[in-house]
Amino acid sequence: MEIKDIQKLLDFIANSGLDEVNIETGEFKVSVKKNAAATYVTAAPAPVAAAPVAAPQPAAPAPQPAAAPVAPKADDSKYLTIKSPMIGTFYRSGGPDKPSFVEIGDDVTTGKVVCIVEAMKLFNEIESEVSGRIVKVLVENATPVEYDQPLFLVEPI
């Protein structure tokens, strides 16, 4: 399903009397609810070729300790990188009052949720594809990210 298809689905739901729609295929599962809490979708990393869409920003999250955005340097080559699989807004936690999914020094394993990227009002849980220890957070909370942008540096263990 492409982003334009998702947008058409969201427009259809907004203009219909439906309060909830669930779609499931072999590749993905989408659940959309009107006037409900945020819906979280687990996304497998896949290229998304689309321009960013301006969306209303959620209420400002509570200040959280975060590393300043830093571009990976040559001496960071010994680290593995967790990259964004899509364009959207990066969030370190599931909500303003919830703790970050991972902090610097935390151990991660393949499949562990490390952040959320919001795209087109869908909150996509981003899972680690590597195992190791988080050594750097490369993106500020609640900031836009691009496809394939480095989010975290991980030291293999």
Distance CA 139, CA 117 (A): 12
pLDDT at 60: 52
Distance CA 123, CA 121 (A): 6
CATH number of 74-155: 2.40.50.100
Q: State pLDDT tens for residues 69-115.
A: 445 555 668 999 999 999 999 999 999 999 999 999 999 999 999 99
Q: Higher-confidence residue: 151 or 77? A: 151
What value, to the nearest 5°, has the Cα angle with vertex 140 and ends 139 and 143? Answer: 95
| 41, 122 Cβ separation under 8 angstroms | yes
Full 3-state SS string of 51-112? CCCCCCCCCCCCCCCCCCCCCCCHHHHHCEEEECCCCEEEECECCCCCCECCCCCCEECCCC
Q: What is the dihedral of CA 98, 108, 148, 115, to 10 degrees?
A: -10
pLDDT of residue 11 exceeding 50: yes
Q: State pLDDT tens for residues 108-141.
A: 999 999 999 999 999 999 999 999 999 999 999 9
**What is the radius of gyration, based on Cα positions, of the chain?**
16
Q: State pLDDT tens for residues 31-51.
A: 776 654 455 555 555 555 555
pLDDT at 46: 52
Distance CA 125, CA 120 (A): 14
pLDDT at 23: 73
Q: Where are the CATH 2.40.50.100 domain residues in the chain?
A: 74-155
pLDDT at 65: 47
